[in-house]
Amino acid sequence: MVIGGGFGFGFGTACSLAAIGLLCGGLYGCPQYNVYSQRLDGEAELAKAEYSKKVAVQTSQAKKEAAQYEADAEVIRAGGVARANQIIGDSLKNNEAYLRYLWITDLAGNNRSPSVIYVPTETNLPILEATRNLTPPPAK
């Protein structure tokens, strides 16, 4: 006759051994899982750092290329200005009548201050008489 419902001594022992096995497996497996998890976290951080470095390098390269293109454009622009100045200078060298016309139209311009007086001299250079007869404003 079997005491305890017919399962006997073997079932209790088997359950105890299974519980002890699970406990030992947990005690061994938890530290191993922590090491595995930390290794994966480290690999993820390394991959993120490498990606951030690549992004920074590509951004710097793009800025460098943009600066180079802007410098090239500035050199081309300066060459155009130099050629334009050369053309203007060459056209004004022996053209006294045109220069006199520009001087007269500039004197007749409406953007002059009323306190500025131009007096031409024998060399056609103006003398500026701006504040000679002005009285200082009264003190408050």
SS3 33: helix
Q: How many CB atoms lie within 10 A of CB 118?
A: 14
* SS3 label, residue 37: helix
Positive or negative: CA dihedral 88, 91, 92, 93: positive
| Contact predicate 113/105, CB 8 Å | no
pLDDT category at 37 given cuts 50, 70, 90 is confident
Mean pLDDT of 80-104: 84
Share of the chain above pLDDT 70, in %: 71
pLDDT given at position 126 = 58
**For position 1, what pLDDT does the model report?**
44
pLDDT, position 11: 73
Average pLDDT over residues 47-59: 95
- Segment 38-42 shows an average pLDDT of 89
CA angle 37, 39, 42 (to 5 degrees): 110
Specify the pTM: 0.42
Percent of the chain residues topping a pLDDT of 90: 33
pLDDT digits (tens, 9 = 90+) for 1-31: 455 555 556 777 877 878 888 888 777 777 7
Mean pLDDT of 61-75: 97
